[in-house]
Amino acid sequence: MTAKTPEQTKTIMTDLVLPSETNPLNNLFGGELLARMDRCASIAARRHSRRIVVTASVNHVAFNRSVPLGSVVTVEAKVSRAFKTSMEVFLDVWIEDRESGLRTKANEAIYTFVAVDETGRPVEIPEITPETDLEKERYAAALRRKQLSLVLAGKMKPKDATELKALFE
Ligand SMILES: CC(C)(COP(=O)(O)OP(=O)(O)OC[C@H]1O[C@@H](n2cnc3c(N)ncnc32)[C@H](O)[C@@H]1OP(=O)(O)O)[C@@H](O)C(=O)NCCC(=O)NCCS
């Protein structure tokens, strides 16, 4: 399998915030943004693996800024690291100012997807080679995040999470 780059997986989804998608403060409902990010990330994961992909976990979400009704929201997803059958996907969310057209970072999130066959069994995926400084930074930290996610899910013993433990030493 030929290695790919994060850029080859890049997926951008731009859409409006409609009244049915907002909370009583007229801001985008958190679950709606999670769903948009899940869809966008799954396309990036598919572009990397060219397989059926399923969401294994949502590792991190930061709702730093509310997203008002009528906003133009852009969700950008890239695979930040590929492991054996799983991929970390990093998401950046931007809001576009109506008048100036300037984009402001609103939120970010990190999801994990697993490539599976038609029976739902995990299958191997190509490696990924980061190119930019940001891609290299995200790639390097992804192993720690995978270990944290597995520990929290009860799928890894804390004593085996060596890269994660090294953060605190
Ligand atoms: C995700 C799923 C395929 C993993 O199956 P599994 O039996 O745990 O398989 P494995 O233990 O072999 O794990 C497969 C990979 O997922 C990773 N993984 C599993 N759970 C994880 C978690 N909580 N966080 C991060 N990675 C996880 C494993 O580390 C492994 O990665 P690697 O092969 O790259 O090293 C399975 O749990 C599943 O199908 N879940 C439902 C998915 C779904 O329906 N999502 C939508 C929810 S509505």
Which ligand 1 atom lies nearest to the CA of residue 125?
A: 34
**In the chain, what percentage of residues exceed pLDDT 90?**
92
Which ligand 1 atom lies nearest to the CA of residue 59?
A: 24
**In the chain, what percentage of residues exceed pLDDT 70?**
100
Per-domain residue ranges of the chain: 6-129
The whole-angstrom separation of Cα 77 and Cα 9 is 8
Angle value at C-alpha 132, between 6 and 88, nearest 5 degrees: 35
What is the per-residue pLDDT across 87-138, written as a single tens digit (0 to 9) for each?
Answer: 999 999 999 988 899 999 999 999 999 999 999 999 999 999 999 999 999 9
Q: What is the CA radius of gyration of the chain?
A: 17
Q: How far is CA 65 from the centre of its chain?
A: 18
Ligand 1 centroid to Cα of residue 105, in Å, is 30
Ligand 1 centroid to Cα of residue 45, in Å, is 14
Residue 167: the pLDDT is 81
Domain covering 6-129 assigned CATH 3.10.129.10 in the classification: yes
Take atom 31 of ligand 1 and give the residue whose Cα is closest.
86
